[in-house]
Amino acid sequence: MTGPWWREAVTYEIYLRSYVDGTGDGLGDLPGVRSRLDHPRGLGVDAVWLTPFYPSPDHDCGYDVLDHRAVDARFGTLVDVDGLIVEAHAVGLRVVVDLVLNHVSAGHPWFRAARAAGPGSAERLRFHVRSGRGPAGERPPTNWPSIFGGPAWSPFGDGEWYLHLFDAQQPDLRHDHPEVAADAEATLRFWLDRGVGGVRFDAAGSLVKEDGYPDLPDGWRPGEAAPYSDRDGVHAIYRRWARVLAEYPGDRLGVAETWGGPEVIAPYLRPDELGQAFAMDPLFWPLEAATWRAGVDALLAATLRHGRLPTWVHGSHDVRRAATRWGADGSRAVLLLMLALPGSVYLYAGDELGLPEVDLPDDAIRDPVFRRSGGVDRGRDGARVPVPWTDGSPPHGFAAPGVAPWLPQPTGWGGYAVDRQAVDPTSTLALTRAALRLRTGRWRGRPAQLCWLDGPDEVLAFQRGSDGPVCLANLGDAPVDWRRYGERVLLASVSLADGWLPPCATAWLC
Ligand code: GLC
C-alpha cells in the first residue's frame, strides 16, 4: 500500500449515543465503545469515527458544544478517551473525533456574554450579528433559511439578530475573530495531542460567510450555491489547520464534512488542504447505471486532479438508513460497489446489519429538524435508533436489561442483532466482514484509473487498471450472465445459484 493510511481506509461511524450503553442511563457512551471494540475490529475497518461526546445541552444531539476540550459526564471521562485510543491502537484501529467548530451551544460562555453585553458590544463580534430590517429591526437581516427549517437568524430582542445556520441554540462563530481562530486551533491540538488518528470537521463548508451578507436570489433552492457555503475564504482556514495536522507524526487525517458536488469538494483536497472530503451526492443517486457511471467518473476526475481519491459515504446519522434509501438488496449492492472503487469509504454503524429507517412516534423524536419544520420533516432520528447486539427483547444488548434506550427500538429489532447475524453466512454482517477482508488483498492499492467494461446499459462493470478483479453491478431489471466478465465469483451481494447475477446485486469476479 502506498500513501497515508487514510487514502483507501474504511472508517466506521459510531453514533455514540446509539452504540452501547455502558453506564445504565439508556445513552450510548465511551465505556460502551471500549467494551465493544471487537466489533469494528472484526469487521476489518481501519478507523472509527466517534460523534461528539463534549458537554452539551443536547439541542442537536451533542452538535451544540459547551466546551470542546472536555467530555460530558454522561459519555464518560477524558480517561475513557485516552483508554479508548490506546485500546483501539492495540487492535489496529485509529480514532477519528468530530470537531464542531462552525458554531457553539447558545449556552457557551461566549454566547451568554454576547447576549448580556448588548448591541454593538465587543462580545458580539465573535458571532455573526446584524441589525434587523424594518423600522424597529423587527425582521431578520437576510432571507437565509436555517438548514433545520425556519429563518437562520434569531433576535436578541434589542434590535440585533444572530446567525445560526442550524438550530437557534447553535450560534455561528466568526472565524475571522482572532480569539475564535485561536480557540479552534487549541481544540484541534488538544485532541491531536491525545493521539487521535484524525479529525472530522463538522459543517466544513460553512465557516466563512460572504461579506455584506447578501440575500439569496429569488427562486434559490437548497443545495444551490449560497453566500454561507463553500466560500473561497474557507480554504485559508483548512490550509492553516492542515499545517497543524502535518506537525504531528503518523499522517493525521483531516476529513471535511462537505455536501457539494465534485467541483465544490475538490478544492478541499488540494495538496496543502485535507486528505478526505465527503462525497454525499452518491447517497441520493438512484440505482441507475448511467447516473453512477457519470457520477463516479466526475468525482474521480475532480479528486485525482489534486492527487487525491474520493471519499465514498454509504450512510450516516444525517440521512435515511441505507437499507431504506436503496432497499435492503440495493444497500448491499452499493456496499460492494463502493468498496471496489478507488478511495476511502465511510460505513455507518448499523448499516452492516441492514438496519432499516425506523418510523418513530412523534413524542420520541428529539431531532430539532422535526420541531423547526413544524413536523413536516420527521428529521434524522429514524436512522439513530440504538444498535441491537442480541436477539431476545429490548434493549437487545444495547443497555442492561430493563433500561430504556434513548430512542425506542421497534418490534422485530432483534432479528437484525449482531449475535444472530454472526452465525448466518448469508447475513449482511457476514457480507460486510467478507467484503472488507477481500478488499484489502484485491482492490486496495490498485490503480485509481477505472476501466469500464462493455455490457448492457444497466450494468456497471469495471476493473482498476487493465487487469485485476472485476466489479459487476446489475442495476437493470433482467439477470446478467456474470460468466461474460470472469471465471469465478469472489463475493456477491446475494447468493448466486447459477451463472446469473440477479437485478439489484453486485459481484466481485476474477
Ligand atoms: C453536521 C452533523 C449533523 C449536525 C450539524 C450541525 O451536519 O453531521 O448531525 O446536526 O452538522 O452541527
- Domain CATH for 487: 2.60.40.1180
- Of 123, 105, 112, the closest CA to residue 66 belongs to 105
- Of 400, 398, 405, 490, the closest CA to residue 440 belongs to 490
Same domain, 96 and 118: no
How far is ligand 1, taken at its centre, from the CA of residue 203, in Å?
Answer: 6
Same domain, 121 and 183: no
Q: Which residues contact 54 (CB under 8 A, 6 or more apart)?
A: 62, 65, 66, 67, 68, 69, 70, 71, 72, 100
Q: Distance between alpha carbon 63 and the CA centroid of its chain, in Å?
A: 13
pLDDT 10s per residue in the chain (510 long)?
479 999 999 999 999 999 999 999 999 999 999 999 999 999 999 999 999 999 999 999 999 999 999 999 999 999 999 999 999 999 999 999 999 999 999 999 999 999 999 999 999 999 999 999 999 999 999 999 999 999 999 999 999 999 999 999 999 999 999 999 999 999 999 999 999 999 999 999 999 999 999 999 999 999 999 999 999 999 999 999 999 999 999 999 999 999 999 999 999 999 999 999 999 999 999 999 999 999 999 999 999 999 999 999 999 999 999 999 999 999 999 999 999 999 999 999 999 999 999 999 999 999 999 999 999 999 999 999 999 999 999 999 999 999 999 999 999 999 999 999 999 999 999 999 999 999 999 999 999 999 999 999 999 999 999 999 999 999 999 999 999 999 999 999 999 978 999 999 999 999
| pTM tops 0.75, yes or no | yes
Same domain, 409 and 342: yes
Residue of 247, 362, 477, 487 marked catalytic: 247
Which of 166, 200, 317, 371 is the best mutation target for the ligand 1 pocket, counting ligand atoms within 8 Å of the beta carbon and taking the most?
166
Cβ of 203 below 6 Å from ligand 1:
yes
| CATH of residue 388 | 3.20.20.80
Residue type, 24: G
In a domain, 264, yes or no: yes
The total of structural domains in the chain comes to 3
Cβ of 63 below 6 Å from ligand 1:
yes
Same domain, 153 and 187: no
C-alpha triplet 258, 263, 268: angle, nearest 5°: 50
Residue 247 annotated in active site: yes
153, 163 in Cβ contact below 8 A? Answer: yes
Same domain, 240 and 91: yes
Q: Measured over all CA atoms, what is the biggest interatomic distance in the chain, rounded to whole angstroms?
A: 76
Radius of gyration (C-alpha) of the chain in whole angstroms: 23
Residue 352 annotated in active site: no
Residue type, 387: V
- Strand ranges in 234-301 using DSSP code E only, listed in sequence order: 253-256, 276-279
CA–CA distance, 6 with 199 (Å, rounded to integer): 12
Same domain, 94 and 116: no
